[in-house]
A and B are shown apart, each in its own frame.
Chain A
């Protein structure tokens, strides 16, 4: 077995850092437990540096199981940045005395989950993908329930866990079927083994369905999204942000690798499934989001709808047209890049608002513009971006999805998505209206710790500058095809 240590360096650093944070935290006196945050951030920064050093390199190691290419590196960067943003949000959340969350464990778990994300971006093997997905999920189950005295947090973790275990079990079954069909778990061999086979329709169909269940759970696609609102609501909000951004992105990364690198030959079989799932997911997410009164639940349903938009391009994929598939990957990668900032930003504002006030209803946001203008403006920017309105980067993300759909002759998908965009605007506007139009019940400004303000500001700037110069995202997305 060949082994290239430089290729694995970021993962090794992160593993050491995670273990280090846990160990050091053990020996720190209780009043110094806040040290976990700078240590964890340091660990991520070191990892990020190691990732950046790999940019532009192409390394295949561990017998083709682990690959470092542009696609992998770009997503590793995204995961690290998303983790840093979530850490910054967590910092403010954890420092509130009434949250009895153990700092060391919290950050360690996030780092282990991040480790799974880093490896999934490089995995080119079903087993590696499965292990990575489990590595992402297991710490996440714990994180969702980390406020152990809070019954809602327990509910969140349990629901998340049961759904998660069921879906990964099914996915594993699907993977074993593919192994049975081709005798290999390597994606490239899988693709080769499936080429030209006409005698396997029923088994392959079943196996694909099982795989979709597994990834559908991760990316919260209908009908595997039921855990999302309850888990997001019950878990600490930074954890919800982590799940809806980093974990979901990881799901998409795995999905793309499996579908295009492994099962590309069967595109005719899975294409209609994704078209249907995408349409139902976004429509369901948007229609239910309209009725939400709680901000985290609203964001949860909105994130379901967002997953629907990103699944649609798979609904026009082709078994033969490599150019079209490149465009599909480009558009979804582009969307994910933008999504990471706007979604984390929205959750960060929700954290900032709910942290001290303890209020999470959309109603409570009334008059936020008068109370904390900067916070309200930032939230409006994130929501308009999620809705796809210029001058915020979300417009470009939606644009490339539309472009892909029309190029793939999925005009009807594009029309349904267009109608969905308008429906979604309705509930985003409802929040904006609350913040800007309605009168505040109390005039007090929202206290905003510096780290959290920095995270929100950074995300807002990226979203705004990216709206005027979307090629910042476009160039990265263009580089990240793996064909």
Chain B
């Protein structure tokens, strides 16, 4: 266990990178060996992730398995890593989804082939994503954060759909634009702290940062811009539908399941704990933007005829719920956010898998042409229905808890925030859930039901294949398990998110009774 505690986090981050390097060194054409290498390295990272979960003291609030090694002394930056209840679920989500993606890749490498480059890029991407969730040094975080750009650009640009060039460049430039301002914010934090430091934990300590309110707001704005583009929050979301729609199946899955969470995680790990006062100033605006995202995302979904694009827009809405939870600044809200992140990762990742496999069979994402899928490939159709229902927030499945808790937390935001605005956002969000149910059910009606078109009547299509089962079974199981037993995540997160709220208020979070009393006063 000692190895896990000392080096577990580092292994989880760098094993995929090692795999990527080894794969890059193998000669071209040895596809079998390359696939095995990719499976082994992501599998090892997954095992390490699970070992970390078991070694983790659930219910403790602080950082665990911390490790600090000097990295770039010339700019005062350390390799400082650690995980707490907020980062652990996301790290596990990341290693799990990456492993499943590799399994799926073993089944199918998209056009124009080249397994070597494809697998190596996924592994490089995994290093960037895992690293973002464990970095406790702003420079380290920045490097991991930017590390995901290059592989994702290539995944979309080389293996993507027809409009991939536009989508990949838009993705790259948009995210880069946000992140350079995030970087300027990091540097401003460094020079405004005493002693000068890039360490996230030190920066949160009282007295380390001394900022005028105007400067604090400016810095928060820079950080928020970087994170908001990644989430993406309305109105910075326009790269997302293009990138998701054009990306190859695995690219979409990783984008939706993990990459977007880096933005929301950034808010919870960096922006809010380091700059709590400006966070309170910005919170109402974030809530309003989140509410707009929820309704806007749902309306856009209703307008889509392309299945994949519809799922992409549904991400805008779901991430809106996550941001709504964060903006409430209460333990309930943060809990909703982390749960929502994991649930969205599992469900939407699964939906993108299904969309990709459907495209493999039908060669189209257009819903009218898919009509009658329930008759043609019933198992696949069943899975689609299951995930769609989970995504629209049916109680008992994973999607429910994130949404309902986000809405509840918006009813009573942290003291000092104007409840009227948040309740307005809550109402908008509630309307959004109805619309969400609407477009998902409509999608099911158009795809699963109906009459099989002439074109496909005579053709035989394969239903779900073995490797597809292997890649999807864990996700399907998680959707059910998380829905039935949400404490699986909450038990880990609650103490950490409570500590987060306490760091904002500077005092212990009110107990449930006190909150009930407060609600009654209102």
Contact = CB atoms under 8 A, between A and B. Distances in A.
A419 B150 CA distance: 19
Contacts of A373: 28, 117
Interface in A170-225: none
Given A389-B146, A389-B150, A395-B146, A407 B74 contact: no
Contacts of B75: 396, 399-400, 403, 474
A478 B181 CA distance: 26
Contact of A426 (B154, B169, B188): B169
Given A384-B150, A415-B184, A433 B157 contact: yes
A475 B74 contact: yes
B172 to A, nearest CB: 6
Contacts of A436: 154, 157-158
Contacts of A422: 173, 176-177, 180
A471 B73 contact: yes
Interface in B131-177: 139, 142-144, 146-147, 149-150, 153-154, 157-158, 164-165, 168-169, 172-173, 176-177
A475 B143 CA distance: 19
B72 interface: yes
A238 interface: no
Nearest to A407: B191
A106 interface: no
B183 interface: yes
A418 B181 contact: yes
A433 B156 CA distance: 11
Nearest to A415: B184
Contacts of A395: 143, 146
Nearest to A471: B72
B184 A406 contact: yes
A399 B183 contact: yes
B143 A421 contact: no
Interface in A414-469: 414-415, 418-419, 421-422, 425-426, 429, 432-433, 436-437, 469
Contacts of B146: 389-390, 395
B190 to A, nearest CB: 7
A475 B74 CA distance: 7
Contact of A421 (B150, B153, B154, B176): B176
A402 interface: yes
B427 interface: no
Interface in A356-414: 369, 373, 384, 389-391, 395-396, 399-400, 402-403, 406-407, 411, 414
A414 B190 CA distance: 15
A433 B169 contact: yes
B18 interface: no
Nearest to A424: B176
Contacts of B157: 433, 436-437
B83 to A, nearest CB: 22
A471 B71 contact: yes
Contacts of A419: 180
Nearest to B172: A429
Contact of A418 (B73, B143, B184): B184
A353 B172 CA distance: 27
A49 to B, nearest CB: 27
Contacts of B154: 436
A478 B72 CA distance: 12
Contacts of A470: 72, 74
Contacts of A117: none
B187 interface: yes
A432 B150 CA distance: 11
A414 B73 contact: no
Contacts of A421: 176, 180
Contact of A403 (B117, B158, B187): B187
A330 interface: yes
A426 B158 contact: no
Nearest to B174: A422
Contacts of A396: 72, 75
A402 B188 CA distance: 10
Chain A interface residue bracket vs B: 35 or more
A471 B181 CA distance: 24
A426 B165 CA distance: 12
B184 A414 contact: yes
Contact of A330 (B71, B74, B191): B74
A474 B191 contact: no
B222 to A, nearest CB: 9
Contacts of A403: 75, 187, 190
A437 B184 contact: no
A36 interface: no
Name which of B71, B157, B173, B183 has the most chain A CB atoms within 10 A of its CB.
Answer: B183
A330 B76 CA distance: 14
A156 to B, nearest CB: 33
A243 interface: no
A80 interface: no
Contacts of A433: 157, 165, 168-169
A177 to B, nearest CB: 38
Contacts of B73: 471, 474-475
Contacts of A432: 153
A477 interface: yes
Nearest to A479: B74
Contacts of A429: 153, 169, 172-173
B180 A437 contact: no
Contacts of B153: 429, 432
Given A399-B183, A402-B187, A421-B180, A478 B143 contact: no
A437 B28 CA distance: 18
A422 B169 CA distance: 11
Given A403-B190, A437-B158, A477 B74 contact: yes
Contact of B184 (A402, A426, A471): A402
B173 A426 contact: yes
A186 to B, nearest CB: 31
A471 B74 contact: yes
A429 B183 CA distance: 21
Nearest to B196: A407
A414 B188 CA distance: 11
A437 B167 CA distance: 12
Given A390-B147, A421-B180, A429-B169, A399 B139 contact: yes
A407 B193 CA distance: 12
A262 to B, nearest CB: 27
A369 B74 CA distance: 36
Contacts of B28: 373
Contacts of A418: 180-181, 183-184
A399 B158 CA distance: 29
A183 to B, nearest CB: 40
A263 to B, nearest CB: 27
A439 B184 CA distance: 38
A52 B365 CA distance: 64
A434 to B, nearest CB: 10
A287 to B, nearest CB: 15
A390 B190 CA distance: 20
A91 to B, nearest CB: 27
Contacts of B191: 406-407
16 contacts: A390-B144, A390-B146, A403-B187, A407-B191, A414-B187, A418-B183, A422-B176, A425-B176, A433-B165, A433-B168, A436-B157, A469-B72, A470-B72, A471-B74, A474-B72, A477-B74
Interface of A: 330, 334, 369, 373, 384, 389-391, 395-396, 399-400, 402-403, 406-407, 411, 414-415, 418-419, 421-422, 425-426, 429, 432-433, 436-437, 469-471, 474-475, 477-478
- Which 7 pairs from chain A and chain B are nearest by CB? A474-B74, A418-B180, A406-B187, A390-B146, A390-B143, A422-B177, A437-B157
Interface of B: 28, 71-75, 117, 139, 142-144, 146-147, 149-150, 153-154, 157-158, 164-165, 168-169, 172-173, 176-177, 180-181, 183-184, 187-188, 190-191
Given A406-B190, A418-B184, 10 more contacts: A369-B158, A389-B150, A400-B74, A418-B181, A425-B176, A429-B169, A429-B172, A470-B74, A471-B72, A475-B74
